[in-house]
Structure 1
């Protein structure tokens, strides 16, 4: 079992691990994918891992994550199990196509790839590389920036499996596809899941990605997804995390949008020891629309870092970023959001806002809003705030008979509600709303279950009409 220690750099250990297990990692895959892996490990060797001297990583230290004796599954170790016995959706009336990853490997009951009646293909990325090599090779690795500081190159070198989704032209997938990413290991585990989503012209898809742990053991998930939206395609994407304090999640999400495509992304972080979400969106052709929403609720010594880049490379596109966070105890948060407007991207409309509430003097939030504009006919704005609960609003609620604790909870609930109310799936929005309330009350602070599948059935509500305050 590899043990990363202070006597050997994390990069060197991973490079040696790759070379020692090379034959197993590349077994039965297309030569083009193997070549991509070799290029990626060369990037790791040349650039190393980012540190606190690296831009966009100044407030996030990766080094402690690698000081654990991680297990690596280079072949499918998934044991037979009945998913329904350990996992049941607790979002009332939410009907989805559910697909499961266990310790980074796709788990199936009938076949590793499923073709729906409308032609949509859902299944294992490893199997898709075998069955649809030309389609996978055409897209895989083409949007992921291996040279961007982070662990995208490491994922490209080590990924074994993940989710593959293909939506044909003009097809609207009638119900959401739900990715359930489960970690179940008695030992510390590092995984590198890889997802590839391809939407053809005019297609519509709703995708829900849920991270779930069955144990409290140390784990590191270094995930990467590449999503391609063809002309007039629409994607509504939800990434929801509610994991234990010993979990670390790093996810690189790359989106490429063609003409008149629409992307709506929602990142909801209710729990997790260490989280680094990196989102890169390229608006490659005119009249694209992008909305990036985020909410993070952290306490104890949890750390969350959201790094966003929206690259306006074509004219007449719109983008919006709204990320809000509530930090308690000694929690830390980082927001690094960038709007890039290239010379050709005239008539751009772009907006970015990050708001943070600190509940203690020890909590810290670092906001880095950025605009980089090379066009002269644009409307762009950005802003960031870090502060405490509004004392005037708190006083007003106290004069209406609320105790201080309830008044504080209500203000936090209303603050988070701006993001929650943007969730388009009604059953999901209602359940997330309930769980956010529980989280703010401290009732969900040690839950190690996926936010979509909490066992608590009884909803809790504030008997106050927020709109009348």
Structure 2
């Protein structure tokens, strides 16, 4: 089938599937999740799968990713996971509280309680929505189904994902690590819905690792909603390392209250087509948001990072630094929007996107945007797209360094500005190592994985 499929025809495929499995989606699910399905489905019908005519998706063609006849992972597989053997992103010195999401479904670690403080909940979203719906009901959804068709499709299909709750003034000393694995003997579509609530004065670090364990084609549509209450702190790391036949549609929505601090790191080492949507709402005075991103692309890979920060209250600060290295025929996109609403005075917002093209065939689109409705603010943005500085390369070669090593040194220096912002030292060291391997053309391997994942 040609990839030039009419938008309506391709969208109809997914609306028809929803109609076929509607009873299965509602059956056994919670009222909290079911209450959103009908409207979400209607919103998807109205919008359809986004095309390049959609301003927010103008740099990414999703048609080829939605074309295959996928097996939909709407039911949880009966399996027992041995958490002692599960791949932990190969960071041996990092001591974490471990959770597993397999094909969009949460699996508990039944063998150990871990080091989670009293009151902290790390569990299945499906289970919590049934057993403790009050933890979800008091928060209005940040993921608006009428604003993004991928969010609408996720909400219509969503059954499970991970749920994290950190109660008031609790500090989680060991990071929480969620291993997100895709594996099936058929091409598979997965839906994952995650929820994180960090209450007043609480602190936590979360590491989400995305991996594929065999070479079948995958489309993963994930939505994560995060609420950071007064004076809370959250570090959220996303490590993406999937194979070239995987499509990862990843949407994260974060709302911050006064004096909160949230830092997001997105490291894309490998993948086929990746779309990262990241939206912050700074809804309390003195909130601070930091967003760091780094992506490495080769072959015909495509990575699209779309960010939006809404400064809704005065005296808030945001900082964005995204860097990309593109090789061979790869392509990338960055769209960053900063919106300072009226009366959000004393805002300080900074955004930068730098891109390094290693070949003439690589292609990068960048679109920084500022919308400022207040008058007492400090805002700046900038973007660069270029190749390796030949003068600097000549300088290194003149000091006896061969060309390949000199290029590698310059690329590592380019990426290090983002890597150094990772606060978890064992993770930072491991990312440094993986970045070095990635720049040398070596595909990262799952050395300690119980599965066959030589991708």
Q: Taking structure 1 as the reference length, what is the TM-score of the superposition?
A: 0.92
Alignment of 1:177-326 (within 5 A): 177-326=176-325
CA contact (8 A) 1:348 1:380 kept: yes
Question: Offset of 1:21 from its aligned partner?
Answer: 1.2
* SS of residue matched to 2:138: helix
Q: Distance in 2 between matches of 1:319 and 1:454?
A: 40
CA contact (8 A) 1:91 1:453 kept: no
* SS of residue matched to 1:208: strand
Q: Can you list the C-alpha shifts for 1:317-363, whole angstroms capped at 9, x where unaligned?
A: 00011000000000000000010000111000000000001000000
1:101–1:42 Cα change, 3 Å: same
Question: Offset of 1:24 from its aligned partner?
Answer: 1.4
Q: Can you list the C-alpha shifts for 1:222-273, whole angstroms capped at 9, x where unaligned?
A: 0000000000010001000111000110011000000000010000001000
Alignment of 1:435-446 (within 5 A): 435-444=434-443
Matched, 1:82 2:45: no
1:450–1:316 Cα change, 3 Å: farther
Q: Can you list the C-alpha shifts for 1:36-81, whole angstroms capped at 9, x where unaligned?
A: 1111001001111210111121110111111111001222124234
Q: Distance in 2 between matches of 1:331 and 1:449?
A: 24
Matched with 1:415 is 414
1:119–1:32 Cα change, 3 Å: closer
Alignment of 1:86-101 (within 5 A): 86-101=86-101
Alignment of 1:114-153 (within 5 A): 116-139=116-139, 142-153=141-152
Q: Distance in 1 between matches of 2:184 and 2:18?
A: 22
1:395–1:454 Cα change, 3 Å: farther
Question: Offset of 1:137 from its aligned partner?
Answer: 2.3
Q: Distance in 2 between matches of 1:255 and 1:427?
A: 26
Q: Distance in 2 between matches of 1:84 and 1:190?
A: 27
Matched with 1:434 is 433
Superposition RMSD on alpha carbons, in Å? Answer: 2.3
* SS of residue matched to 1:56: helix
* SS of residue matched to 1:192: strand
Q: Taking structure 2 as the reference length, what is the TM-score of the superposition?
A: 0.94
Q: Can you list the C-alpha shifts for 1:105-149, whole angstroms capped at 9, x where unaligned?
A: 11124299999442101110000011101222223x611121223
* SS of residue matched to 1:393: helix
CA contact (8 A) 2:304 2:334 kept: yes
Matched with 2:36 is 36
Matched with 2:338 is 339
* SS of residue matched to 2:71: coil
CA contact (8 A) 2:87 2:446 kept: no
Matched with 1:159 is 158
Q: Distance in 2 between matches of 1:441 and 1:90?
A: 19
Matched with 2:357 is 358
Q: Can you list the C-alpha shifts for 1:383-439, whole angstroms capped at 9, x where unaligned?
A: 000000111111110111011111111000000000001000000000100110111
Matched with 2:382 is 383
Q: Distance in 2 between matches of 1:78 and 1:361?
A: 49
* SS of residue matched to 1:44: helix
1:178–1:86 Cα change, 3 Å: closer
CA contact (8 A) 2:97 2:114 kept: no
Matched with 2:329 is 330
Q: Distance in 1 between matches of 2:407 and 2:313?
A: 44
* SS of residue matched to 2:230: coil
CA contact (8 A) 1:212 1:449 kept: no
Q: Distance in 1 between matches of 2:270 and 2:141?
A: 32
Unaligned runs of 5+ in 1: 456-469
Question: Offset of 1:213 from its aligned partner?
Answer: 1.1
Q: Can you list the C-alpha shifts for 1:78-116, whole angstroms capped at 9, x where unaligned?
A: 423424335255213100001001111111242999994
1:265–1:135 Cα change, 3 Å: same
Matched with 1:65 is 65
CA contact (8 A) 1:242 1:450 kept: no
1:409–1:399 Cα change, 3 Å: same
Matched with 1:459 is none
CA contact (8 A) 2:32 2:129 kept: no
1:5–1:114 Cα change, 3 Å: farther
1:427–1:11 Cα change, 3 Å: same
CA contact (8 A) 2:85 2:449 kept: no
1:453–1:320 Cα change, 3 Å: farther
Aligned residue pairs, count: 450
Q: Can you list the C-alpha shifts for 1:199-236, whole angstroms capped at 9, x where unaligned?
A: 11000010000001110110001000000000001000
Matched, 1:13 2:13: yes
